[in-house]
Amino acid sequence: MHKLNIYTKSKTLIINELNKHADLNFLDDKSVSTIIPDIYFHSGKIDKSLIPTITKSKKVIVNSKSAKDEIVKKIEVDENKVHVIYPAIKKLDINIKEARKEFCEELEISKKTRIIFFTARTLKTNGVKELFDILLSLSNDNYKLIIASDKEQITTLKFQIAKYNLDDKIIFYEDFKNMDLLYAVSDIFVLPTYVKNFSLSILKAMSLKTAVFVSSTNSARELVDIFATMESPSDPNTSFKIDALLSEKDDLKLIKKSNQKIAKDFYIEKQIQRLLSILNIT
């Protein structure tokens, strides 16, 4: 039986699961120069060196519609051979209500206080300054902001935030290991990012019953509605939307519940089945 030749430069949850299938052969960078892949998983920018791989592969898998559109526009390939499989997430067994209660008690935060969450590997390019500007425009100040990143990012940020006068509002987490907990205890996740590549943090937040806002520059916007989409990282309407959620408990609750329902469709089990169907593997 012929094994399908797979080529990818990314190490994702989906790729890790595919590695378990005996009828797939993963090519390395050296062998892909002599063997044409049956399936090529593309992510990131379209490098000139990858164009032959994209054009010759029988099928190309991307993680967003915008990535597919970019390939079809820039390279003369049949759009029918480019397939979209959004990133996958694991189902997490977290008692959100209990986690929130313990978290607020530990930090001595009122259970009525809304928690806004922001995390990224690079805080600047993902819009931390824009987030501060949004928060300064809020009318409702019944919130705490959690910012989580590595020590270097947080240390740099602390030197820059004095002018915003938000010291009493921010809780910093450096190199925090249990990131799932922070998603679970939060009410609103805001990502005013300039980064185009799909942000998995949006899906994670949604899966743990959190309202989200993401800039239209990011591919994750494809999974959210207009209300959750920021026209730009500095979209002035975002502060009005967040104000509304801080004030309207029922609306916030409805959005959180809806987001979790949407995210369930991207659990790894479902995404693998979709992918295997595209690969014609049962």
Q: What are the tens digits of pLDDT across the range 145-181?
A: 999 999 999 999 998 888 898 989 999 999 999 999 9
Q: What is the mean pLDDT of the chain?
A: 95
pLDDT at 21: 85
Task: Walk along the chain (282 residues) and give the pLDDT tens digit of each residue.
Answer: 578 999 998 889 999 999 888 789 999 988 888 899 999 999 988 988 889 999 999 999 999 999 999 999 999 899 999 999 999 999 999 999 999 999 999 999 999 999 999 999 999 999 999 999 999 999 999 999 999 999 999 999 998 888 898 989 999 999 999 999 999 999 999 999 999 999 999 999 999 999 999 999 999 999 999 999 999 999 999 999 999 999 999 999 999 999 999 999 999 999 999 999 998 875
Residue ranges of the chain that CATH labels 3.40.50.2000: 96-266
For residue 282, what pLDDT is reported?
A: 54
The span from the CA of 231 to the CA of 216, in Å, is: 5
CB atoms near residue 12 (< 10 Å): 18
Instruction: Print burial letters for 119-153: b (CB count within 10 Å at least 16), e (below 16).
Output: bbeebeebbbbbbbbbbeebeeeebbbbbbbeeeb
Length of the chain: 282
What is the model's pLDDT at position 10? 87
pLDDT at 67: 96
Contact status, residue 117 vs residue 210, Cβ threshold 8 Å: yes
Say which CATH topology domain 96-266 has.
Rossmann fold (3.40.50)
Class (C level, CATH) for 4-88+267-278: alpha beta
The pLDDT value given to residue 76: 84
In 3D, which of 151, 189, 188 has the Cα closest to residue 173?
151
pLDDT of residue 86: 98
Query: Can you tell me whether residue 5 is helix, strand or coil?
Result: strand
Going 83 to 86 to 91 to 97, the CA torsion angle's sign is negative
pTM summary value: 0.94
Distances, alpha carbon 6 to alpha carbons 15, 31, 59, 63, 272, in Å: 10, 11, 10, 16, 15
Please write the tens of the pLDDT for every residue from 235-261: 999 999 999 999 999 999 999 999 999
